């Protein structure tokens, strides 16, 4: 299992590098990321969240096949937008509505380097956009206005302090 980096870590704010080698290393990383994602009970996990500043994210929507996106590029977004409550494994314990396009087209490579294109809507479109943001140092809270963002971060800090205290007490 890989460690999940949380907000405050520099790696979450960096622009990721392209992946150019498609060998055992990238296959092992994507397997480890999928295991970590399932263990954390999330639906998406991006490289920076496990301390890897490279363009890779994995998606696993329950009941569907796990997906690996390498060097992804969102090439089309729908004009129509929608609201959905998002969370992030790197900002645990808080959630907030985020407005995003409802459908996207994404081009990416799989672990063997093969190029593919997916047209997605619904939850998959939502997760692809959230994870793709991570590869550019962006978090979902950056989509909120400043007041909402500050409020959410205060709640996060409070919850985390409580969690740390709890740990010490045990
Ligand atoms: Ni996230």
Edge-to-edge strands, sheet with 115-121: 44-46, 56-59, 67-77, 103-109, 115-121
* 132, part of any domain: yes
What is the C-alpha to C-alpha distance for residues 82 and 144, in angstroms, rounded to an integer?
A: 14
* 155, part of any domain: no
* 61, part of any domain: yes
146 C-alpha vs ligand 1 centroid, how far in Å? 19
68 C-alpha vs ligand 1 centroid, how far in Å? 15
Indicate the DSSP class of residue 92: T
pLDDT of residue 167: 64
Kindly list the catalytic residues.
Answer: 131
The domain containing residue 122 runs over which residues? 10-144
What is the C-alpha to C-alpha distance for residues 147 and 82, in angstroms, rounded to an integer?
A: 21
Q: Please report the beta strands in the chain, taking only residues with DSSP state E, as ranges in sequence order.
A: 44-46, 56-59, 67-77, 81-86, 96-101, 103-109, 115-121
* 112, part of any domain: yes
Backbone angles phi, psi at 91, to 5 degrees: -135, 65
- Number of structural domains (the chain) is 1
Mean of the pLDDT values across residues 120-138?
98
158 C-alpha vs ligand 1 centroid, how far in Å? 20
pTM: 0.94
* 98, part of any domain: yes
pLDDT of residue 40: 96
* 168, part of any domain: no
* 5, part of any domain: no
pLDDT of residue 33: 98
Do 86 and 126 form a contact (C-beta atoms < 8 A)? yes
pLDDT of residue 160: 85
pLDDT of residue 168: 63
Name 32's Cβ contacts closer than 8 Å, sequence gap at least 6: 1, 2, 50
What CATH number does the domain containing 108 carry?
A: 3.90.45.10
138 C-alpha vs ligand 1 centroid, how far in Å? 9
Tell me: the pLDDT tens digits for 95-111? 999 999 999 999 999 99
Residue bearing the bigger pLDDT, 20 or 160 = 20
* 1, part of any domain: no
Mean of the pLDDT values across residues 74-85?
98
Name 39's Cβ contacts closer than 8 Å, sequence gap at least 6: 1
């Amino acid at each position: 299992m890989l460690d999940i980096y949380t907000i405050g870590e520099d790696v979450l704010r960096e622009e990721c590098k392209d992946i150019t080698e498609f060998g055992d290393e990238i296959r092992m990383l994507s397997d480890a990321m999928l295991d970590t994602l399932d263990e954390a009970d999330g639906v998406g996990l991006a490289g920076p969240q496990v301390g890897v500043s490279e363009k890779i994210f994995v998606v696993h929507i329950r009941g569907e096949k796990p997906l690996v996106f390498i060097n992804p590029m969102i090439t089309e977004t729908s004009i129509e937008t929608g609201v959905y409550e998002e969370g992030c494994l790197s900002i645990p314990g808080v959630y907030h509505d985020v407005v995003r396009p409802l459908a996207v087209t994404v081009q990416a490579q799989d672990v063997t380097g093969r190029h593919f294109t997916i047209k997605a809507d619904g939850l998959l479109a939502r997760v692809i956009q959230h994870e793709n943001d991570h590869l550019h140092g962006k978090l979902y809270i950056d989509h909120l206005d400043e007041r909402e963002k500050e409020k959410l971060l205060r709640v996060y800090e409070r919850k985390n302090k409580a969690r740390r205290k709890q740990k010490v007490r045990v």
